[in-house]
């Protein structure tokens, strides 16, 4: 994400908290409709407000993720029992200096490599590593995932230049990491001894499921881990199970009753009072079910001397496949005496 | 009640990243806090208090991250929450009118309106806008054991090479806890249960007695744990590690097998913010007008298709009670089985994200209340406990070194280290180095430099939140996560150069202090290298 251009700034329009008076029952919405099984809306969350200009607002941060820090280093991290991750930064001058130690004949075919050392239990480079393997790098790489397939082992990685003749010029050496064990430890504490069978039983396994074979453990744990697991932001929740998708649509009908009278008049729709605004207008939005609705609207003047009743009768009939949407099932309007409305909440 | 055969420790990890944007009048991601308050924190408080008032004895453990504590105590966010709630009260009132000819929805509109009014009354009148107070009260009433977490929920195994930064996350986390709860923490929640051998020594320095770890961290520990996860392990440092029980976790967590997927429960993904006419809901959307979840949801899960039936709260409550009974029964069987193998009473540790309860699993808080009631009245096999209490009861435990692990998908660091987010670590590590560099070279600093150095530490900590790496991985809200890493990095580097060159722009510094205003007690010297 770059710095947001000013033209992309959207302003919030003055918020009217009243429903729009004119409405069509099936009007297309101006906003992109997100089907319910799609992940939450994209994070176009940044927006400014005309009023915000009056607050002391720090300028947006100038885009500045450094491409490098001028270091010569390689860092090694553990991803899981089988994989490591290395990132590095080597200055061209450092590489040039290394090359200057080479004979002209050694330059052709010179290759940048990662050399991955198994240093389990060893003080490398004071002592020689158990083994190493090389990974050839392309010129632009600045990081690499390294498959070691060696849980429980310790590693150090060096980045450097390898000549055709096998001479290795070190550019940088990483920190040391140890990949986690994958399976139960073979070390048993005598004071806390247990039998293999008792140990397995603890986990609800039948005795002798495989002794302490790492592969049996691997399967067991992999199975457990794939189905369990928390999430980083609990609020963002577990991943949504995929819904059975297919073509879908919904159609709903709302009825808007709106009108005007003198500002202090009382308006009652089906026995429920409706708010009359200061300018005397009123509106009511109701989800309209199939069937006939008789909507008695009683308007009484502020002094109580004038009353008028207007009764629109609305008949909604559906045709077409309405599937099982419950809002289309027949339901008659509740009788006016039925408690409903905010005053009863 | 005679001595039970075993113990159950319910642990709720309560966390949100620090999201506070005074520079914008409203901000989409600030709603995470608001929704969590309405849907999780208030319902949990209400139920725990009801249990107290009914004199149902219970013990529960909750971790609170310092970022969440800072937001709960922040006046700007408090005011914005009330504004958010007022809008919902208004919208739900309109819904009562709109649904008057649709009894199943009308009933739900009344239900939500009532919930929002109750939430407002609780939040404003009863709790005076600061939810830390009622949680403290639950501590005083003896039902809640609060535990700490690291400062900004940094994922610590991937800071392995920067031990000073790990230590600072923990130390500042413990300080924030003490500020909120008035006592040092007994327990500690490692973010994402991310454990790296050796990090327990930093907890020891803080006087922490125990932390939580995923099952394989214990099971793969060395020497081999005699009791598996059913007893704590004592790390070489002397701090205890409690392993997560997978069986009980799965029954709540799992999307397929877990309770929350029951067809009678409320469907999260159908919300009137998406379902209703755009112009009608527009006043309740954010400035950019994108549709969003309002929290008013009328349907139950119903089945696997998009055809949904109206939600029936009574039926859902009935199901929550059944599921609580089922969970209790399974724990009884589990305790009996494990007890038959062990020579002492086992502990089953079931940690969950708090926000799962109420926000995702709408009926979760009810399920929890039913479980607590049933566990007290309907069985004698196990008793609810906190890890801290269990340690007091069983102080002698096996010493072993747990294995590096996390509770993220795959069990290790894959979620926070992969092609979508690996690029952040070279910056985070460099920031940690630079912080230590200037903290070490400025052990004494004048007032202005001290402020700049403290603010640097805040920017570093905020950049380290595991949330950003997680969000980059999940592919939603990624632009926001990217922006946060970027902004904290840019602010940090700006301050770093200012401090080094002795040219601090005080106006700019004040702006940053006002924006990223958490941890007022912070002292940057926590980053200084030992002399």
Q: What is the pLDDT of residue A277?
A: 94
Closest-CA distance, A220 to chain B, in angstroms, reads 10
Q: What is the pLDDT of residue B19?
A: 97
Q: Which two tokens stand for residue B475?
A: 């592919």
Count of Cβ atoms closer than 10 Å to residue B312 Cβ: 16
How many residue contacts between A and B have a Cβ separation below 8 Å? 385
Query: Under an 8 A CB cutoff, do B117 and A34 touch?
Result: no
**Helix B313-341 crosses helix B246-253 at what angle (to 10 degrees)?**
170
Instruction: Answer for the pair B186, B147: CB distance below 8 angstroms, yes or no.
Output: yes
- In eight-state DSSP terms, residue A12 is P
- Choose the closest CB to A233 out of B226, B471, B489: B471
ipTM (interface pTM): 0.94
Residues belonging to chain A: 345
- Give strand pairing partners of A146: A84
Report, as an integer, the average pLDDT of B291-311: 93
Q: What is the pLDDT of residue A37?
A: 34
Q: What is the pLDDT of residue A2?
A: 35
Q: What is the pLDDT of residue A117?
A: 98
The 10s digit of each residue's pLDDT in A35-61 is 333 333 333 333 333 333 333 334 456
Q: Is B64 helix (H, G, I), strand (E, B) or coil?
A: strand
Closest-CA distance, A119 to chain B, in angstroms, reads 17
Query: Is the pLDDT confidence value at A28 over 60?
Result: no
Assign 3-state DSSP to chain B and report helix, strand, coil percentages, each to 5. Answer: 55, 10, 35
- Which residues fall within 8 angstroms of residue A233, CB to CB, at 6 or more apart? B15, B16, B17, B467, B470, B471
Q: What is the pLDDT of residue A150?
A: 96
The 10s digit of each residue's pLDDT in B71-85 is 999 999 999 999 999
* Cα–Cα nearest to B297, from B313, B314, B320: B313
* Cα–Cα nearest to B321, from B256, B254, B368, B384: B368
- Choose the closest CB to B101 out of A43, A62, A288: A288
Helices (H), B220-312: 246-253, 272-275, 278-281
Ordered structural domains, chain A, with CATH: 73-178 (2.60.40.10), 254-333 (2.60.40.10)
Count of Cβ atoms closer than 10 Å to residue A209 Cβ: 16
Comparing B89-93, B149-153, B409-413, which segment has the lowest mean pLDDT?
B409-413
Query: Under an 8 A CB cutoff, do B287 and A11 touch?
Result: yes
* Residues in chain A within 8 Å Cβ distance of B216: 221, 224-225
- Choose the closest CB to B110 out of A63, A224, A345: A345
Comparing A185-189, B162-166, B521-525, which segment has the lowest mean pLDDT?
A185-189
A181 contacts chain B (CB < 8 A)? yes
Query: Under an 8 A CB cutoff, do B417 and A193 touch?
Result: no
Helices (H), chain A: 92-99, 196-202, 214-227
Mean pLDDT of chain B: 95
The pTM is what?
A: 0.87
CATH class of B424-527: mainly alpha
* Residues in chain B within 8 Å Cβ distance of A189: 223-224, 226, 398-400
Q: What is the pLDDT of residue A183?
A: 85
Highest mean pLDDT among A15-24, A256-265, B278-287, B427-436: B427-436
CATH class of B6-72+140-262+313-393: alpha beta
Question: B409: nearest CA in chain A?
Answer: A229
* Residues in chain A within 8 Å Cβ distance of B356: 234, 237-238
The 10s digit of each residue's pLDDT in B93-140 is 999 999 999 999 999 999 999 999 999 999 999 999 999 999 999 999
Report, as an integer, the average pLDDT of B266-283: 94
> Band of the pLDDT at B149, cuts 50, 70, 90?
very high
* Residues in chain B within 8 Å Cβ distance of A10: 287-289
Closest-CA distance, A296 to chain B, in angstroms, reads 14
Highest mean pLDDT among A204-208, B6-10, B213-217: B6-10
* Cα–Cα nearest to B273, from B472, B35, B26, B78: B35
Q: What is the pLDDT of residue A204?
A: 60
pLDDT greater at residue A231 or residue A157: A157
Terminal Cα distance for chain B, rounded: 56
> Band of the pLDDT at A206, cuts 50, 70, 90?
low
Comparing A154-158, A270-274, A339-343, which segment has the lowest mean pLDDT?
A339-343
**Domain residue spans in chain B?**
6-72+140-262+313-393, 424-527
Query: Under an 8 A CB cutoff, do B101 and A248 touch?
Result: no
Region of residue B250 (phi > 0: left; psi between -120 and 50: alpha; otherwise: beta): alpha
* Residues in chain A within 8 Å Cβ distance of B337: 204
Query: Under an 8 A CB cutoff, do B223 and A188 touch?
Result: yes
B208 contacts chain A (CB < 8 A)? no
The 10s digit of each residue's pLDDT in B356-414 is 999 999 999 999 999 999 999 999 999 999 999 999 999 999 999 999 999 998 899 99
Q: Is A215 helix (H, G, I), strand (E, B) or coil?
A: helix
B119 contacts chain A (CB < 8 A)? no
Closest-CA distance, A278 to chain B, in angstroms, reads 18
B23 contacts chain A (CB < 8 A)? yes
* Residues in chain B within 8 Å Cβ distance of A55: 22-23
Helices (H), B302-446: 313-341, 364-377, 387-393, 424-441
Query: Is the pLDDT confidence value at A142 over 80?
Result: yes
Query: Under an 8 A CB cutoff, do A189 and B398 touch?
Result: yes
- Give strand pairing partners of B143: none
Q: What is the pLDDT of residue A60?
A: 53
């Amino acid at each position: 994400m770059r710095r947001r251009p000013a033209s992309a700034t959207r302003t919030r329009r003055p918020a009217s908290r009243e429903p729009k008076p004119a409405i069509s029952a099936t009007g297309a919405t101006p906003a992109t409709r997100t089907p319910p099984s799609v992940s939450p809306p994209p994070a176009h969350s940044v927006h400014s407000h005309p009023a915000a200009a009056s607050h002391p607002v720090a300028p947006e941060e100038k885009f500045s993720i450094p491409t490098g820090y001028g270091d010569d280093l390689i860092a090694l991290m553990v991803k899981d029992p089988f994989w490591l991750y290395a990132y590095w930064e080597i200055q061209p001058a450092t590489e040039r200096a290394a090359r200057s130690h080479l004979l002209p004949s050694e330059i052709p075919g010179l290759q940048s490599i990662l050399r991955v050392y198994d240093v389990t239990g060893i003080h490398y480079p004071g002592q020689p590593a158990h083994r190493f393997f090389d990974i050839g790098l392309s010129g632009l790489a600045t990081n690499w995932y390294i498959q070691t397939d060696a849980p429980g082992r310790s590693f150090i990685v060096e980045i450097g230049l390898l000549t055709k003749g096998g001479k290795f010029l070190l550019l940088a050496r990483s920190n040391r990491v140890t990949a986690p064990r994958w399976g139960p430890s073979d070390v048993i504490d005598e004071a806390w001894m247990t039998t293999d069978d008792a140990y397995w039983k603890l986990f609800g396994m039948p005795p002798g499921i495989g002794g302490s074979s790492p592969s049996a453990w691997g399967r067991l744990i992999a199975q457990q881990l794939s189905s369990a697991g928390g999430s980083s932001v609990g609020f963002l929740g577990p991943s949504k199970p995929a819904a059975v998708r297919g073509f879908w649509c919904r159609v709903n009908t709302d009825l808007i009753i709106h009108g005007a009278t003198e500002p202090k008049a009382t308006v009652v729709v089906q026995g429920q009072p409706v708010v009359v605004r200061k300018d005397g207008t009123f509106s009511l939005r109701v989800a309209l079910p199939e069937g006939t609705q008789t909507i008695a609207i009683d308007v009484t003047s502020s002094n109580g001397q004038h009353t008028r009743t207007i009764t629109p009768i609305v008949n909604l009939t559906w045709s077409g496949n309405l599937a099982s949407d419950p809002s289309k099932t027949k339901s008659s309007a509740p009788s006016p005496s039925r408690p409903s409305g905010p005053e009863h909440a | 009640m005679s001595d039970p055969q075993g113990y159950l420790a319910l642990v709720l990890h309560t966390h949100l990243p620090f999201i506070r944007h005074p520079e914008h009048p409203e901000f989409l991601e600030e709603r995470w806090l608001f929704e969590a308050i309405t849907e999780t924190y208030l319902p949990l408080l209400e139920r725990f208090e009801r249990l107290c008032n009914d004199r149902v004895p219970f013990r529960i453990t909750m971790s609170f991250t310092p970022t969440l504590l800072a937001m709960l105590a922040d006046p700007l966010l408090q005011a914005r929450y009330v504004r958010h709630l007022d809008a919902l009260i208004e919208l739900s009132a309109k819904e009562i009118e709109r649904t008057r000819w649709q009894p199943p929805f009308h009933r739900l509109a009344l239900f939500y309106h009532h919930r929002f009014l109750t939430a407002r009354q609780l939040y404003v009148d009863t709790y005076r806008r600061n939810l830390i107070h009622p949680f403290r009260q639950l501590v005083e009433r003896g039902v809640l054991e609060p535990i700490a977490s690291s400062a900004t929920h940094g994922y610590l195994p991937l800071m392995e090479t920067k031990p000073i930064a790990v230590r600072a996350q923990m130390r500042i986390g413990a300080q924030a806890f003490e500020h909120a709860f008035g006592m040092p923490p007994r327990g500690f929640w490692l973010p994402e249960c991310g454990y790296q051998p050796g990090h327990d020594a930093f907890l020891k320095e803080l006087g922490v007695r125990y932390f939580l770890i995923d099952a394989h961290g214990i099971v793969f520990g060395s020497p081999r744990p005699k009791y598996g996860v059913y007893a704590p392990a004592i790390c070489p440092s002397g701090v205890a590690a409690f392993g997560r029980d997978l069986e009980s976790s799965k029954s709540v967590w799992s999307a397929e097998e877990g309770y929350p997927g029951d067809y009678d429960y409320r469907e999260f993904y159908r919300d009137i913010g998406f379902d209703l006419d755009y112009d009608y809901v527009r006043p309740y959307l954010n400035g950019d007008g994108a549709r969003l979840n309002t929290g008013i949801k009328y349907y139950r899960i119903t089945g696997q298709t998009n055809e949904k039936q109206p939600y029936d709260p009574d039926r859902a409550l009935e199901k929550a009670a059944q599921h609580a009974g089922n969970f209790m029964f399974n724990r009884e069987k589990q305790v009996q089985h494990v007890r038959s193998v062990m020579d002492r009473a086992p502990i089953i540790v079931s940690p969950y994200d708090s926000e799962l309860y109420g926000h995702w699993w709408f009926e979760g808080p009810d399920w929890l209340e039913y479980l607590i009631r049933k566990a007290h009245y309907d069985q004698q096999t196990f008793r609810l406990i906190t890890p801290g209490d269990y340690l007091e009861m069983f102080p002698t435990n096996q010493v072993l070194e747990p294995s590096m692990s996390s509770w993220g998908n795959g069990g290790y660091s894959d979620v926070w280290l992969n092609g979508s987010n690996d690029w952040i670590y070279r910056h985070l590590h460099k920031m940690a180095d630079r912080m230590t560099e200037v903290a070490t070279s400025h052990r004494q600093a004048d007032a202005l430099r001290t402020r700049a150095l403290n603010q640097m530490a805040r920017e570093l900590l905020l950049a380290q939140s595991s949330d950003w790496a997680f969000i980059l991985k999940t592919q939603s809200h990624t632009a926001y996560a990217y922006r946060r890493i970027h902004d904290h990095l840019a602010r940090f580097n700006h301050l770093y150069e200012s401090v080094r060159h002795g040219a601090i722009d005080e106006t700019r510094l004040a702006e940053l202090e006002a924006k990223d205003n958490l941890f007022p007690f912070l002292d940057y010297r926590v980053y200084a290298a030992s002399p």
